A and B are shown apart, each in its own frame.
Chain A
Amino acid sequence: MKWPFFHPSRGAEMHIEIRSEAFEPYHEVQVYQEKIQATGQYGATAVFVGTMRDFNEGDDVKGMALEHYPGMTENYLKMVCEEASGRWSIIDSLIIHRVGKLWPNDPIVLVAVWSAHRKDAFEVSRYLMEELKSKAPFWKKEFLADGDRWVQHNTPGY
């Protein structure tokens, strides 16, 4: 049986946040998990953290500016989380994404998913990341030694 007929999540929670200040993703996961009501229900937590590199396409990158479309970005990510809750059996999901100025080694994005079993947590965290990378309205501008440049596109993760 395929979606929408298998194991939809019942009342899955989610939290989506756009941050303009630096954040510590592992601390966020810990704090968020402590607030999850379904203690004893989740057996799997999948965590993905995207971090800024100091190189891209053969060039040194000094920093970047991340822009988004306020409102549409949050709506889009919420829609994707809701869609995922219908296709997989998950308990909770957390997405935090940076905007503003970032420097190498700064965390850019956190995606964390809690589920009863690992299959759903692994698959949903991957699904949320791929949807975010390919459709959520964010744009990166890199600061190079000889000027700035917009990143042209994201490469597929599958």
Chain B
Amino acid sequence: MVIQIRFFASLRERLQLSDCSLPFEASMTVEQVWSKVTNNESLPANLLCAVNMEYVSLQQVVKAGDEVAFFPPVTGG
């Protein structure tokens, strides 16, 4: 059982990582997912995160099979 992680835009370029996966662990929050995949890098200011394509807070608990995404402030339109 794993969770999928995706990065977009400037964050993807800086981390040189567009997607990866992590073994699922019970009670893991989005913030803990960030720490694991970035080797405890501090949280960027204004970081946005989504689980299964919906905005969530960093305290959201993830489930097995979830897709977690991290990205910078949006700049469309």
Q: Which residues of A contact B (CB under 8 A)?
A: 50, 66-69, 71-72, 75-76, 97, 108-109, 129, 132-141, 150-154
Contacts and interface: CB of A to CB of B under 8 A. Distances in A.
A138 B75 CA distance: 6
Contact of A137 (B10, B13, B46, B74): B74
Contact of A135 (B6, B10, B55): B55
A139 B9 CA distance: 6
Contacts of B75: 138-140, 150-154
Interface residues of B, number: 19
Nearest to B52: A72
A134 to B, nearest CB: 7
Contact of A138 (B13, B46, B53, B74): B74
Contacts of B9: 67, 139, 141, 150
A137 B6 CA distance: 13
Interface string B1-32: 00000101110010000000000000000000
B76 A97 contact: yes
A116 to B, nearest CB: 27
A42 to B, nearest CB: 24
30 contacts: A67-B8, A69-B8, A69-B53, A69-B71, A72-B50, A72-B53, A75-B53, A75-B54, A109-B76, A109-B77, A132-B76, A135-B55, A136-B77, A137-B8, A137-B48, A137-B50, A137-B74, A139-B9, A139-B72, A139-B74, A139-B75, A140-B75, A141-B9, A150-B9, A150-B13, A150-B72, A151-B75, A153-B73, A154-B73, A154-B74
B10 to A, nearest CB: 4
Contact of B77 (A67, A133, A150): A133
A109 B75 CA distance: 12
